[in-house]
Amino acid sequence: MALIDLANPTRFLALANRVLPWLAAVTAIVFAYGLYRVAYAPDDYQQGATVKIMFLHVPSAWLAMMGWGLMTVAALGTLVWRHPLADVAVKAAAPIGAAFTFICLVTGSLWGRPMWGTYWVWDARLTSVLVLFLLYLGMLALYWTADDPNRAARAAAILALVGAVNIPIIKFSVDWWNTLHQPASVVRMDGPAIDSSILVPLLVMAVAFTLLFFTLHIAAMRNEILRRRIRSMRMMQAANA
Partner 1 sequence: MMTALGPHASFIVVAYIATVIVILALTIWIARDYAVQRHTLSDLESRGIKRRSQREDKI
What minimum distance in Å lies between the beta carbon of 95 and partner 1? 7
Angstrom CA distances, 42 to 196, 198, 239, stand at 11, 7, 65
Euclidean distance between CA atoms 13 and 11, whole angstroms:
5
Annotate each residue in 87-126 with x if it binds partner 1 (CB under 8 A) or - if it does not, as one string.
Answer: --------xx--x--xx--xx--xx-xx------------
CA 129/CA 132 separation, integer angstroms: 5
Which residue, among 238, 226, 221, 213, has the nearest Cα to 77 in the 3D structure?
Answer: 221
CA distance 193 to 124: 22
Determine if 142 is a binding residue for partner 1 (CB under 8 A).
no
Output the smallest distance, CB 151 to partner 1, in A: 21
Task: Quote the CA–CA distance of 2 and 11 in Å, as a whole number.
Answer: 11
Q: Which stretch binds partner 1 (CB under 8 A): 44-52, 125-133, 159-167, 169-177?
A: 44-52
Q: Write down the least CB distance from residue 201 to partner 1, Å.
A: 12
Contact in structure between 135 and 101 (CB atoms under 8 Å): no
Of 45-84, binders to partner 1 (CB under 8 A) are 48-50, 52-53, 56-57, 60
| 151 belongs to the binding site for partner 1 (CB under 8 A) | no
3 state DSSP class of 44? strand
Kindly determine how many residues on this chain lie close enough to bind partner 1 according to the rule CB under 8 A.
38
8 Å CB contact between 85 and 231: no
| Residue whose CB is less far from partner 1, 102 or 172 | 102
CA 194 and chain centroid, separation: 24
Q: Which residues sit opposite 48 in a β-bridge?
A: 44
Nearer to partner 1, 27 or 78 (CB): 27
34 binds partner 1 (CB under 8 A): no
The distance from CA 106 to its chain's CA centroid, rounded to whole angstroms, is: 15
Using CB under 8 A as the criterion, which residues of the chain lie in contact with partner 1 when the complex forms?
A: 39-40, 42-43, 48-50, 52-53, 56-57, 60, 95-96, 99, 102-103, 106-107, 110-111, 113-114, 212, 216, 219-220, 222-223, 226-227, 229-230, 232-234, 236-237
